[in-house]
Amino acid sequence: MPRRPPAIHQVLATLAYGDAIGHEVLGIQRVLRQAGYDSAIFVETADRILESQTRDYRELVDASHPDNLLLHHFSIGSKASRTAFALPDRMALIYHNITPPEYFAGIHRTLARQCFRGRREILAYIDRCDLAMGDSEFNRQDLEALGFSRTAVLPVVPDFSHLDRQPNGFVANQYDDDWTNILFVGRVISNKKVEDLIRFFHAYHTEFNPRSRLLIVGAFSMFERYLAALHHLIAELRLSHVHFSGHISDEELVSYYDVADLFLCASEHEGFCVPLVEAFYAGVPVLAYAATAVPATMDGAGVLFEEKDPRLVAGLMDAIISDPNLQDSILTGQDAALARLRSKDFGATLLARVDQIMAAPRAAPPRVAPDFWEQFDAAERLEELRLDRPSIYRALP
């Protein structure tokens, strides 16, 4: 009887619409399926738009086989993560980094706790994984520092197809004028240091260009307390013309890049930072704080700053915006960096990593508590009660 070909499935806590990890997960699936592998995406939760492209993580138990390979995207601990850990399949980790929990202390206690637990939980995978891959050299080095001995880089090669759409006319009507638009794209979350963006913009707006605005484009759900603190800072500075977009469509994102004169980033913790290279693709000069993976992502392009002095950064902003020749030079460098990034053969690298894993001796089988699967079955029955008989579920102790 012929041996069944292995399946290569992906496992992650949540598949989000429009974010960098979501784009990477879908890209990996395309490559694997084109290579002839059976490949599904198992998640705990997914955006409604993407639900049809995923399967519930509990179905992974039936899809499991010792010859299969699970590509486990690790960010924070989850039930999907723990279920995958306990299965007999081979496993490779794809690590997107975990934000240090201190960024969320006093702002989002639940996320601070999840990040702390995630940094602790990942240590259990040191002996469980056949290979641990960072999606940047910065992340690979973090894996090494955590104790993983078999590491590699699976580079992020962003798919820019979402930026090739027709721009949204409403955004253009609002902001496409003779004012200067300073843009940041990313979640409104505390490690992105949006408060520093506001201080930099305040210095630029008051000292150099009163006909300027700051456009902060990204979701802020679950971080309303942080958003309120940002609005308080804006009021303290008596600053106007700071606009928060919230979560937007791809067509709106295209428009924001179209109207931008400068992309400004003050983030202090990034595993890669895809919006930087999106700005390269959109032809927007980038000025960014040189922290964590940002310098490597910029790859010698754009402009980096190392001191968070608002007047210094404002001066750099003005130098770039007011000098067309300097802008052209920056954009030429960004185009070259983007070409180097896009020349990487992501599909070939992924398949080479798969071959490397399959050819190597496999890691020791997972060590789990004797009653793990009994607890799994009990949790499944409770979930069925919660969905189908909520009144009985609420009555349980």
> Is the four-CA dihedral 338, 20, 53, 39 of positive or negative sign?
positive
- pTM for the model stands at 0.86
Q: Is the domain of 216 the same as that of 187?
A: yes
Q: What is the CATH number of the domain that holds 183?
A: 3.40.50.2000
Q: Which domain holds residue 310?
A: 165-342
Q: Is the domain of 153 the same as that of 177?
A: no
Residue 11 CA to residue 29 CA, distance in Å, equals: 11
Please report whether residue 383 resides in a domain.
no
Q: Is the domain of 272 the same as that of 298?
A: yes
Q: Is the domain of 245 the same as that of 261?
A: yes
Please report whether residue 394 resides in a domain.
no
What does the block give as tokens for 322? 């007011």
Work out the widest C-alpha separation in the chain, in whole angstroms: 77
Residue 22 CA to residue 16 CA, distance in Å, equals: 6
Q: Is the domain of 325 the same as that of 282?
A: yes
DSSP string, 6-32: PPEEEEEEEE-TTSHHHHHHHHHHHHH
Please report whether residue 372 resides in a domain.
no
Amino acid at 225: R
Tens-of-pLDDT digits for all 397 residues of the chain?
456 689 999 999 889 877 778 888 999 999 999 999 999 999 999 988 899 999 999 999 999 999 999 999 987 768 888 899 999 999 999 999 999 999 998 888 888 888 888 888 898 899 999 999 998 999 999 999 999 999 999 988 778 988 999 999 999 899 999 999 999 999 999 999 999 999 999 999 999 999 999 999 999 887 889 999 999 999 999 999 999 999 899 999 999 999 999 999 999 999 999 999 999 999 999 999 999 999 999 999 999 999 999 999 999 999 999 999 999 999 999 999 999 999 989 999 999 999 999 999 898 888 877 777 677 677 777 877 887 888 887 887 7
Please report whether residue 268 resides in a domain.
yes
Domain count, the chain: 2
H helices of 164-309, where?
Answer: 169-175, 194-207, 224-236, 250-259, 274-282, 294-298
Please report whether residue 388 resides in a domain.
no
Residue 91 CA to residue 183 CA, distance in Å, equals: 39
Q: Is the domain of 332 the same as that of 280?
A: yes
Q: Is the domain of 233 the same as that of 275?
A: yes
